[in-house]
Amino acid sequence: MVPEIDLAWRRGIRPEPPIPVSDWADRHRILPPTSAEPGRWRTERTPYLREVMDALSTSSPYERVVLMKGAQTGGSEAGLNWLGYIIQNAPGIAMLVMPSLDMVRRNTTVRIDPLIEATPALRELVASPRSRDAGNSLFRKSFPGGQLVMTGANSAVGLRSTPVRYLFLDEVDGYPGDADGEGDPVDLAIQRTATFQGRRKIYMVSTPTLKGHSRIEAAFEWSSPLKVVHQLGYICPAIWRISDGWETRKAGRDCIESSAG
């Protein structure tokens, strides 16, 4: 037990290597046999995700990344790469929020467990889901220096469970308007990151639903227009914005801006 504690302590004080998320994915991520293209991840296959992922790196100054995308264009896969990067490269407490607890169960089985099992760099850090280790369940994955907590936007208890440095809000347009009578689930989740302000990372991603009533559209409009991804063929698969803090736009201060590409 002592060597395990010592290892966790050493990992906790070790400086985070300045590697971008996209580089981590290209070096380490292995897509499982159930993927459309099994084998080693190649960012060059989805180049529009490179800057999205790299903005989530700990070396990036931005706290929030908002990705409004088309269906099946890789936004969630970019988030999975980020989670893998956190587990191996920048351990800490992370939270993944899905629209419901049922979707968490399905996502863990279909995406999270295969991510860990297919990627050797992660498999050695997280216990097998078939073991009796309490640190690996449908709702929690523990690893040296941190853990991934997974909950549904319909569970207020899960959303106020623990302070988190990393927050992954997936398919936010599917979230309920209220979590058990305690308020907006996005606001409840973001409150969990307050302790880490200045070091936190918040990734919000979704396919938009009804214009004027879309969470991802509203978050996108609040953010600073740093990048609009080039049109590929007849489809622009994703547009994204980032800011140096969740409150930046609300407070009326200027965010970093760049012309669209």
Q: How many CB atoms lie within 10 A of CB 182?
A: 14
In tens digits, what is the pLDDT along the chain, a chain of 261 residues?
A: 566 666 666 665 665 567 999 999 999 999 999 888 899 999 999 998 998 999 999 999 889 998 888 888 889 999 999 999 999 999 999 999 999 999 999 999 999 999 999 999 999 999 776 656 666 899 999 999 999 999 999 999 899 878 999 999 999 999 999 898 889 999 999 999 999 988 999 999 999 988 888 998 888 887 655 544 333 332 334 555 555 544 333 322 222 222 222
Query: Angle at which helices 75-89 and 21-28 pack, to 10 degrees?
Result: 90
Would you state the torsion angle of the CA atoms of residues 26, 170, 49, 30, taken in this order, to the nearest 10 degrees? 20
Q: Which amino acid is at 102?
A: D
Give Cα 240 to chain centroid, integer Å: 14
SS3 1: coil
- Residue written as token pair 């264009």: 73
93 phi, psi to nearest 5 deg: -85, 125
pTM score, two decimals?
Answer: 0.81
Domain ranges of the chain: 2-243
Distance CA 146, CA 149 (A): 10
What CATH number has the domain spanning 2-243?
3.40.50.300
